[in-house]
Amino acid sequence: MKNVVVVGGGTGISALLRGIKKYTENLTAIVTMADDGGGSGRLRSELGILPPGDVRNCLSALANTEPVMEKLLQFRFDSGTLKGQNFGNILIAALCEIYGSFDTALMQIENVLSITGKVIPVTLENIHLVAEFYNGDKCIGESMIPSMSYKLDTGIKNMSMFPKIPQANPKATDAILDADVIIFGPGSLYTSIIPNLLVEDIVDSIKKSDAQKIYVSNIMTQKGETLGYTLADHIKAFEKYSYENILDACVVNNMQISEKLLKYYLIRDRAKEIKMLEEDKKFLNSKNIDIILGDFVEENSKYIRHSGIKIAEALKNSSIL
């Protein structure tokens, strides 16, 4: 079985993890620690722990236990003093208090959930994401960046970390160096994927690794992050924070999305579908990036999501997994 590493944020990559774990047990999720919104943000500020939300989503995706445990992990309180808080986040916070470290807490909950693979925080340091916009303004805090960008109607010029560049979790760099395949995304480009690349030694480890490097394109552009971006624009931004010609392949959806949903996204978020245009194809070909096209979509009445099972099948059929 190949060693597969998936890099991103918990919400974006959790569906992909569910698909990939059907093909390999040697699976590692490397997760950003920049989250500071919602229940994670509250626990982070009140208890001084690392944000548990993205980690929790990955643990849930990789769990091999009773369905009730997965429901508990994802259960969100809707009233009282715990309104908006997630049981899984509280569980991780409690284990941090019991064992004295976020890293040890994760090892304990991995055993309880009998997960396939590992979930590794990209860093164990307390950090915040900083965005500089094209109008010169700056914003500190992952949860604030998209809304600020959208409110100012300006794009993101540069991303950095505050108060300093954090050191990588050694487990993360070891996993990257041991990988046969490294998959980036899907997920928010500037607030889920790129934050991992801003951590000291992560990009160097990726560059040293002999693994195949795969980028999973988002299906839609994102409000406050990538409005107006083409597929090529996403790759260029990704390379800016990693290095030129990093990628071996790119996974792109070419399944028709319902006009009703596309209109809904356009009206609600000004978001548009990311298609493989001829210009994108030329750009990827110029970089010798293999293109993996297919139906990778799951739709409901209000959301368009990736199908992790479909992506994993395509990667298996392409001899990547």
* Average pLDDT over every residue of 207-211: 98
- CB-based contact 22:312 (threshold 8 Å): yes
My answer on whether 210 and 262 are in the same domain is: yes
Among 215, 309, 224, CA closest to 268: 224
What is the pLDDT confidence band of residue 113, given thresholds at 50, 70 and 90?
very high
My answer on whether 174 and 245 are in the same domain is: yes
Chain centroid offset of residue 316 CA: 21
Strand (E) or helix (H) holding 127: none
- Specify the range with the lowest mean pLDDT, choosing from 15-29, 224-238, 289-303: 289-303
Report if residue 23 sits inside a domain. yes
My answer on whether 208 and 311 are in the same domain is: yes
305, pLDDT greater than 80:
yes
My answer on whether 67 and 174 are in the same domain is: no
- Per the prediction, the chain carries an average pLDDT of 96
My answer on whether 27 and 61 are in the same domain is: no
What number of helices (H) and strands (E) belong to the chain? 14, 12
Report if residue 254 sits inside a domain. yes
Report if residue 107 sits inside a domain. yes
Report if residue 313 sits inside a domain. yes
Task: Give the side-chain half-sphere CA count within 13 A for 249.
Answer: 19
* Average pLDDT over every residue of 147-154: 96
pLDDT the model gives residue 65: 85
Among 56, 61, 60, 63, CA closest to 89: 56
pLDDT the model gives residue 300: 84
- With a pLDDT cut of 90, the percent of the chain lying above it is 90
pLDDT the model gives residue 12: 86
Structural domain that includes position 289: 4-33+167-317
Each residue of 168-183: pLDDT tens digit?
999 999 999 999 999 9
Residue that finishes a domain, picked among 114, 133, 150? 114
My answer on whether 45 and 181 are in the same domain is: no
My answer on whether 81 and 183 are in the same domain is: no
My answer on whether 288 and 176 are in the same domain is: yes
Residue that finishes a domain, picked among 79, 114, 149? 114
* Average pLDDT over every residue of 65-82: 88
Q: How many domains does the chain contain in total?
A: 2
Report if residue 58 sits inside a domain. yes
Percentages of the chain per state (helix, strand, coil), in multiples of 5 = 45, 20, 35
Report if residue 131 sits inside a domain. no
* Average pLDDT over every residue of 5-22: 94
What is the pLDDT confidence band of residue 280, given thresholds at 50, 70 and 90?
very high
**Residue count of the chain:** 321
Indicate the burial class of 250 (C-beta count within 10 angstroms; 0-12, 13-18, 19 or more). buried
My answer on whether 198 and 284 are in the same domain is: yes
pTM: 0.96
pLDDT the model gives residue 11: 82
Residue that finishes a domain, picked among 98, 114, 130? 114
* Average pLDDT over every residue of 148-159: 97
Each residue of 195-204: pLDDT tens digit?
999 999 999 9
Each residue of 20-62: pLDDT tens digit?
999 999 999 999 999 999 889 999 999 999 999 999 999 999 9
My answer on whether 23 and 88 are in the same domain is: no
Among 289, 297, 292, 296, CA closest to 317: 292
Q: What CATH number is attached to the domain comprising 183?
A: 3.40.50.10680
Report if residue 264 sits inside a domain. yes
Report if residue 82 sits inside a domain. yes
My answer on whether 227 and 89 are in the same domain is: no
My answer on whether 176 and 305 are in the same domain is: yes
